[in-house]
Amino acid sequence: MLSLLSFAVISLRRRNRRRTLLTVLAVACATVVFCTVMVLPYVTDRIATSMDTSPRLVVINRTAMRWGLPESYSQRIANLPDVVAVNRMVWFQGVYDSPKHQFSTVAVDASNLDIIWPENGFDPATVDLLRKRRDGALVGVATMRRFGWKIGQNVMLRSQIYPLSLKFVIVGSYAGGADPSVFMFRRDYLEEALHNTGRVDMMWVRCANSSVTSRIAGEIDSTFRNSGAETDTETEKTFIMTQLVKARSLGWIVQAVGLSAVFGIALAVLNGFAMTLRERRGEIAVFRTLGFGRPQILSSFIAEAFVTALLGALIGVSFSALTLDLLGSRTGTLLGPALGAGIPYPVMLAAVATALGIGIVSAIIPTIAALRAPVFQSLRQVN
């Protein structure tokens, strides 16, 4: 095997280097396209799986979220059995310095932030500082990296929902949770700026465990049935997946187009190998006259294709990983931090296997065709 690989490397260096380089780049392009179109559905599935055991519920107005809920609902929900804590949230949807620099910005109750989302890894000292400072904010590390912010920095955000801009002081950051890009600040700070108390878009309810979420969701909706603001209570997984439906649908379209592009590139690689084998028919005939069997000749050309495809796959995977890391650090959505985690190993291995498959199949088909030709006919092509 090692001798075949050594022969393959020598052959690639001595042959048409431009064609070899273009073939490697073609395989790399196919690998990049494959990684790009396959990572999105994998990430969305991983997010959904990670929320299977989430003990949180999301409560919104049954008519529409924008109608909001009465603030008094939180205490009635908190009094239900197996309810650990309730946090009231208002969407602010802030924009930093440009319309393209927008990200998830929410106003929450600072009193139980660390109880509702313990997996976010909030520093207790930081949470205490937020409770003491009315204009304080906790910012996910993805957004901190995206804009180069530092703890203690003053930032001004303009709301896309309310006609106002607010000034914040970043008192800390967090790196855990499903979406470490959210900008969190105190709800009473927003109420003071709006001169309107009691505004609640949604409520997050932490239950004792995930096994009681369905029962508590039913109790919440039953409690407020036929009221002026009926509720619609969902598990965190259901709520998040509803938000990801558009991304998932778009992902299927991109996936279909991308895999079609991979197939087209595979045909181009096959054509390149076929041109190479057509020029080397005489060489194959000389090998056969020297006593080399068809399996040996076929193995040598497969080794060349293997080296070419492996090199292209490594280049493509490396480029995809760098691109996704950059995308994750500059995207303020739920998928941004997930993509920024890099290419998952299953996607990476599938991309390399696809590239090797393209290369090996592209070598086998024209080589077998060349081996079927009579030796005397192929020798005529020797210059």
Q: Which residue has the higher pLDDT, 171 or 34?
A: 171
Distance between start and end Cα atoms, the chain: 30
Average pLDDT over residues 26-52: 77
Domain definitions of the chain by residue range: 2-49+243-379, 56-208
The string of pLDDT tens digits covering residues 174-226 is 988 777 889 999 999 999 998 877 789 999 999 999 899 999 999 999 999 98
Question: Could you tell me the sign of the dihedral formed by the alpha carbons of 371, 374, 375, 378, in that order?
Answer: negative
Average pLDDT over residues 73-100: 92
CA distance 257 to 38: 11
What is the overall mean pLDDT for the chain? 82
The answer on pLDDT for 167 being more than 80 is: yes
Using pLDDT thresholds of 50, 70 and 90, give the confidence band for residue 256: confident
The string of pLDDT tens digits covering residues 306-360 is 888 888 889 988 888 887 766 655 554 445 545 545 577 888 888 888 888 888 8
The string of pLDDT tens digits covering residues 106-154 is 999 999 999 999 988 899 999 999 999 999 999 998 889 888 899 999 9
Using pLDDT thresholds of 50, 70 and 90, give the confidence band for residue 172: very high
pLDDT at 306 (0 to 100):
83
Average pLDDT over residues 255-265: 80
> What contacts 311, CB < 8 A, 6 or more positions away?
24, 27
* Strands 183-186 and 105-108, sheet pairing: parallel
Average pLDDT over residues 9-37: 77
pLDDT at 7 (0 to 100):
58
pLDDT over 90, % of the chain: 33
pLDDT at 332 (0 to 100):
47
Using pLDDT thresholds of 50, 70 and 90, give the confidence band for residue 371: confident
CA distance 43 to 345: 12
pLDDT at 342 (0 to 100):
59
The answer on pLDDT for 14 being more than 90 is: no
Maximum pairwise Cα distance, the chain: 94
